[in-house]
């Protein structure tokens, strides 16, 4: 772990956040459902990775895998990058890689490693565990098979974001805002939020009261086509 005030050692952070999300290659499970034939998380037409600015400084001198996203990388639907760039927090860059066929797993960004989860922050500002990126429920196989998420991945995820939040309060604030938007979404669809808690258990959280109910994985909803 880094001492407060020292720069983050991204090589060390990557090495300590390298556990497989699931025992199986989840990309093989979702790629057949993507017309592009790629895992959705590795398809720039579906997900644009981000990197912390110091993370990009590390990557650009240690690998040729990445370049700054320009908005024309999705050949099916090139776009004006201005809108997405304006929505991106100031401490992050939008990136593009060479694609899954040329992936260097040791040089994946933190955002690649965290997908399809994000740190869930309660309304009283506690980081309690992993929430799902609900916008990918119909695309990501993992979100229909949360029982397959490894304990090592959960532990490394939490350790990583505990460290990152100790350096960047703005990152914590951004995830707190995303968590609030998630509560609003689940309140609208009248469902509870599944959370892989840092204590090793899994809970459904009320989006209105934030009361937690411990559950078994069999209680969780699976999403078509998985």
Average pLDDT of every residue of the chain: 93
Best CA proximity match to 130, nearest among 138, 140, 139, 143: 143
| pLDDT tops 90 at residue 125 | yes
Q: What is the pLDDT of residue 86?
A: 86
Q: What is the pLDDT of residue 51?
A: 96
Q: 186: pLDDT confidence band, cut at 50, 70 and 90? A: very high
| pLDDT tops 80 at residue 45 | yes
Q: What is the pLDDT of residue 80?
A: 75
| pLDDT tops 80 at residue 84 | yes
Q: What is the pLDDT of residue 1?
A: 44
Terminus-to-terminus CA distance in the chain, angstroms?
38
Q: What is the pLDDT of residue 143?
A: 97
CA–centroid distance for 107 within its chain: 16
Percentages helix, strand, coil for the chain (3-state, rounded to 5) are 40, 15, 40
- Mean pLDDT for the stretch of residues 106-117: 98
| pLDDT tops 90 at residue 77 | no
- Read off the pLDDT of residues 15-30 as tens digits, 9 standing for 90 and up: 999 999 999 999 999 9
Q: Where are the domains of the chain?
A: 10-219
Burial, 182: exposed, middle or buried (Cβ in 10 Å; 0-12, 13-18, 19+)?
A: buried
Q: Strand 193-197 and strand 127-132: pairing?
A: antiparallel
Best CA proximity match to 225, nearest among 143, 149, 118, 146: 143
For 49-63, b/e burial (b = at least 16 CB within 10 A) is: bbbbeebbebbbeee
């Amino acid at each position: 772990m880094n001492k407060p005030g020292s720069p983050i050692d991204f090589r060390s952070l990557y090495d300590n956040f390298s556990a497989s999300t699931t025992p199986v290659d989840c990309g093989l499970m979702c790629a057949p459902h993507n017309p592009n034939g790629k895992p959705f998380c590795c398809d720039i037409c579906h997900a644009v990775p981000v990197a912390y600015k110091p993370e990009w400084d590390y990557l650009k001198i240690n690998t040729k895998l990445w370049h700054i996203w320009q908005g024309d990388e999705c050949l099916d639907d090139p776009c004006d990058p201005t809108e997405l760039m304006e929505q991106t927090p100031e401490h992050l860059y939008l990136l593009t890689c060479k694609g899954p066929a040329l992936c260097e797993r040791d040089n994946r960004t933190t955002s690649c490693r965290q997908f399809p989860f994000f740190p869930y922050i309660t309304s009283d500002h506690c980081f309690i565990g992993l929430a799902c990126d609900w916008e990918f429920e119909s695309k990501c196989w993992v979100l229909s098979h949360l029982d397959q998420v490894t304990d090592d991945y959960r532990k490394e995820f939490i350790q990583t974001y505990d460290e990152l939040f100790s350096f960047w309060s703005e990152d914590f604030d951004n995830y707190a805002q995303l968590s609030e938007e998630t509560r609003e979404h689940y309140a609208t669809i009248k469902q509870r939020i599944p959370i892989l808690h840092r204590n090793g258990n899994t809970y459904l959280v009320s989006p209105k009261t934030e009361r937690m109910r411990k559950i078994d994985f069999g209680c969780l909803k699976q999403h078509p086509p998985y």
